[in-house]
Chains A and B, each alone.
Chain A
Amino acid sequence: MIENQSNNDEEQVEERSANNVREKLEEDFGEIDPQLFLALTSRRRLENGSLAFGVSKRHLRNKTGLTLLELETLLEDFGRNVKRLGLELISYVVDNEVWYCLRSIYVVPNELSLDEQAVLGTIIYLIEKTTDHRRREEIPITSTILFDRLVKRGYYTEYSLTKILRTLVSTGYIRRGGNKIRYGARTKIEIATERRKEIADRTEGMLL
């Protein structure tokens, strides 16, 4: 009974502080949810050509002037609201910086073409095959392996594969450094670990 009451008290305090944050922000910026929604669903191209999506925690804090706790309460509250739209608030880390974005709860069409999806599937297969799942450590593959699979065996020309890879890099699905190909943040967010494993299992043996 006592526990229940203290839980209720905590909830009320939390609710109150969330409301205070909202009121404070609404005074400065107007309605906050639509603005957060736009910011979280935005994307921009960085100087190196890669894609940044959503908004960083640092940027959010700078703009709103909220404390860490207040920001987290606000985002938690926002996350609950967007769930009704079939979306979920996701946080991810790039270069030691926390970013937030919105992801669909359901499987929905993505923006890749058939060929881009096929190449991404092959990359996932090759990376998952070499990765030791007990260590949970992702091992990159070399471009040579991919080109051997897809170009030498006649699926794509070198030019078209290079073009597809460039699109995958620019849309944030893969990262390329030197001869290495790694997962980009977007692949990790959009296709969860177990789903990537499923893709690898399913596509095994599909390519000659």
Chain B
Amino acid sequence: MLEDNDDIEIEISISESSNEEDSEKSSNKSKSKNNSDKQKKDPKKKKTSDGVEKKLWSVAKKYKTLLDKGLIPQIAESEEDRIEVSDAYLNISSNRHRQLDARVYQSLTKMQRTRDTKVALEGTTERDRLRMIAWEVKIRTKAIMFMPGDNTLDMDMFNLHDVGGVQIIEGDNKELLVEDKILEGKGIAIMESLPLRKLTKEQRESLKKEFLKKFGGKQFKISELESKIDSIFADLISLLVREKQIMLLRTGKDSIEIVLLHTASERINELDLVNQSIVITPKKTRK
């Protein structure tokens, strides 16, 4: 520990020597003036408010320069400066002096903290330093609240509803957008009201199997399908379509066929198909 301190002393003296060169004009001049003042002037005169202001200004200026340049003076030097301004408060006469006094003490504290950080960081690993920076961020964050998870669609606000049955809405022969009137007219919400479910891989697979067994390769009337599927199956349809396991084929005016792609891909290749969006949403139960 002592060795560490010695190292720092060496570093500081190096920085001080360069500092002396840099801030010679500003701080040392005033400091030497102060010292000569101390010797020459009567102690009573020294305690005038002018003297106090001068003293405070010189220290404030010195530390501003040092902090701006990232230089750290020796502890002894800082202590000398502190002693020099320690009785300044006795002669403070105006608000300006009070502010100046506060400024000087803030600079002294900041310098001490910078010095402490330097000492404390000796021997720390890179990971430790990163952890310290992260901590400083962590203890100052007043986080924004998020309740629903990440969405890619805008919330259809104020249309919350109970999750009951499922409603199938069809657009024209074009992609359906959230802003489309056909969706708004039905008074439905798309994103926000489905409860979050966390399924394990096994549960997901068994649900998929169950769904494919029940619905795969079969043809349904739209109203019949609406009544048969719940919101979980509606999610599954989306998932299976995305995974290219099934395709929903509109076979008649009111009927939909759930085609298994691995068994019927040849048949689909032969057909002349038009792509159309179908939005499957929870049904809004109106009061």
Contacts and interface: CB of A to CB of B under 8 A. Distances in A.
Interface of A: 25, 28-30, 32, 34-35, 37-39, 41-45, 53-55, 59-60, 63-64, 87, 90, 101-112, 114-115, 117-118, 120-122, 124-125, 154-155, 186, 189-192, 195, 198-199, 201-208
A204 B114 contact: yes
B144 interface: yes
B133 interface: yes
Interface string B203-247: 000000000000000000000000000000000000000000000
A207 B143 contact: no
Given A118-B131, A121-B134, A205 B146 contact: no
B78 to A, nearest CB: 16
A104 B130 contact: no
Contacts of A106: 142
B158 A108 contact: no
B121 interface: yes
B114 A35 contact: no
Given A41-B145, A118-B137, 4 more contacts: A35-B157, A118-B131, A189-B144, A190-B142
Contacts of B117: 204-206
B133 A122 contact: yes
Contacts of A64: 158
Interface string B108-122: 001001100110010
B139 A114 contact: no
A195 to B, nearest CB: 4
B157 A55 contact: yes
B142 A105 contact: yes
Nearest to A154: B126
Contact of B121 (A63, A107, A118, A206): A206
Contact of B143 (A35, A45, A103, A208): A103
B133 A44 contact: no
A207 B237 CA distance: 52
Nearest to B153: A44
Interface in B144-187: 144-148, 150-155, 157-160
A35 B160 contact: yes
A163 to B, nearest CB: 15
